Amino acid sequence: MSDTPITYAAPVDVPVARQPFNLQGYNNSLNVTIGTPSGLLHEVQVDTGSTGIVIPATLLMVDGDTSKGLAAGVVSLGPAQITYHPSGNTLAGCLYLVPSLLIGASLNDSKQVVSVCEAGPLVVFGAQYAGNTSTPGVQNPVDPGMGMMGVGFGRPALSYTANAGQSDQVVYTLSNPFLSASVGGQPLYPSYLLSSAGSGASGYISLGVTTAQFTAAPLNGQTVALTSAKPPVTPNVTNDCNCAPASGTSWPAAPTQPYWLTGPATITISTVNDALPLKATLLLDSGVTGAMMSVPQVKNWASSLGGAEITIAVPNGSSPDAEPVMSYSFAMSSAAPVKGIFAIDTALSTAAAPASLEPVLPDGDIAFVNTGINLLLAYNYFFDAQLGQLGFAPTAPVTLP
């Protein structure tokens, strides 16, 4: 007997908190407002370079007050810590199971909280302390204004294993809120579409778009297949945060989401490998403006990058001779790198070029590129978590039917 088909809600546009691109005084970024279990609204940066919501733990407390305890339905799971590279900055806190939070939240004329959709249940990171690996004994209260909403795929997400090693162990992994969204209790199709031109009437982020809709007019996008894998599990950690669940609390069911590896790409550097394409994987990271790249074939970046032209492409999986699904180029400056970071020749590059390029050590035998957010100035970016599809479409303002 077949499962009952799911009826999905119509796609929704999530309003951004401010103009994402070319806003004086700000780096390019996608920021949205969420409604937290505390009842307070909070601005978070949409980050395709990570997975999971990271917010101050106070936003999971009643009225944002630690003395009042956890908000209704929120369950503390266990300790967790994030270390950011290469800065060495750390966040210590706990993982929590949150029944629901609001996405695209705001106050209406009656000062009531409204939103375009909700998401849940979710495993989120509630940060309590900030530090740095260079001074491990120093822990400061976390910045109350910090907030990240990781919606990336193929990223190593934090997890906590309850009853580790026992037959009844439960693994809780940070959740992608865009893949567990719903409208009035009706689920949205698990996908998202990011754009610099505005993918709908009110914003730069659309949820619930299917691959069939993305590849049809007016978007006319193209997609490539991703590879599924078993989600990685990070080891349990200890810290000074009080993360134990209430005494007598049974471990709740863990939310699960599909896991897809980073998508395929090629990197062509005019001064490397006889200017022939190198196989690579690609991450569009909306959390940064610069690019990061690892190429095992490059032994001396300083002698290879000066004045080079770099082309990043996503090949069309249907045929090796077909036009790529996505392709763009940028030129490197001939100036010497500063602290290992290379400048871009903006006069010979488009707006889609990264703000800079930082070589990183290879993590395998295949090249890798993190394009940064500026690629959205040339292409809409699409991820279908149900079918495992990564898509691109040339940027143009459109309104979904």
DSSP letter assigned to residue 9: B
Per-residue pLDDT reduced to its tens digit, 47-98:
999 999 999 999 999 999 999 999 999 999 999 999 987 788 999 999 999 9
300 neighbors 325 (Cβ within 8 angstroms): no
- Where does the pLDDT of residue 197 fall: very low under 50, low under 70, confident under 90, or very high at 90 and above? confident
- Where does the pLDDT of residue 401 fall: very low under 50, low under 70, confident under 90, or very high at 90 and above? very low
CA distance 287 to 176: 15
- Where does the pLDDT of residue 200 fall: very low under 50, low under 70, confident under 90, or very high at 90 and above? very low
Q: What does residue 225 show for φ and ψ, rounded to 5 degrees? A: -80, 140
Which pLDDT does position 322 carry in this prediction? Answer: 84
Average pLDDT over residues 303-313: 94
Name the nearest CA neighbour of 158 among 103, 101, 94, 85.
94
- Tell me what percent of the residues of the chain surpass a pLDDT of 70: 96
- Where does the pLDDT of residue 128 fall: very low under 50, low under 70, confident under 90, or very high at 90 and above? very high
Whether 199 shows a pLDDT value over 60: the answer reads: no
Beta bridge partners of 126: 55, 94
- Tell me what percent of the residues of the chain surpass a pLDDT of 90: 77
Q: What tokens appear for 5 in the block?
A: 């088909």
Residue 121: cis peptide before it, omega within 30 degrees of 0:
yes
Average pLDDT over residues 345-357: 93
Most confident of 80-84, 100-104, 192-196: 100-104
DSSP letter assigned to residue 296: T
CA distance 100 to 97: 9
| CATH topology for the 12-225 domain | Cathepsin D, subunit A; domain 1 (2.40.70)
Whether 202 shows a pLDDT value over 80: the answer reads: no
314-348 as b/e: b if 16+ CB within 10 A: bbbeeeeeeebbbbbbbbbbeeebeeeebbbbeee
| Interstrand relation of 278-283 and 367-370 (parallel, antiparallel or unpaired) | parallel
Per-residue pLDDT reduced to its tens digit, 217-256:
988 999 999 999 999 999 999 998 888 777 777 899 999 9
In three-state secondary structure terms, 321 is coil
User: Tokens 């763009």 — which residue?
Assistant: 328
Which pLDDT does position 358 carry in this prediction? Answer: 95
- Whole-angstrom CA distances from 151 to 154, 195, 252, 327 are 10, 15, 23, 23
- Residue 301, Cβ neighbours under 10 Å: how many? 18
Which pLDDT does position 250 carry in this prediction? Answer: 85
CA distance 24 to 21: 9
Per-residue pLDDT reduced to its tens digit, 318-332:
776 789 999 999 999
Whether 9 shows a pLDDT value over 80: the answer reads: yes
Number of H helices, E strands in the chain: 2, 29
CA distance 192 to 210: 9
Per-residue pLDDT reduced to its tens digit, 162-181:
988 888 899 999 999 999 99
331 neighbors 357 (Cβ within 8 angstroms): no
Residues in the chain: 401
356 neighbors 150 (Cβ within 8 angstroms): no
Domain locations in the chain? 12-225, 263-379
CA distance 136 to 294: 29
Average pLDDT, the chain: 92
Query: CA 312, 32, 354: angle at the middle one, nearest 5?
Result: 20
116-145 as b/e: b if 16+ CB within 10 A: bbbbbbbbbbbbbbbbeeeeeeebeebeee
Which pLDDT does position 1 carry in this prediction? Answer: 46
Which pLDDT does position 63 carry in this prediction? Answer: 96
- 86 or 279, which is more confident? 279
- Where does the pLDDT of residue 264 fall: very low under 50, low under 70, confident under 90, or very high at 90 and above? very high
- Where does the pLDDT of residue 201 fall: very low under 50, low under 70, confident under 90, or very high at 90 and above? very low
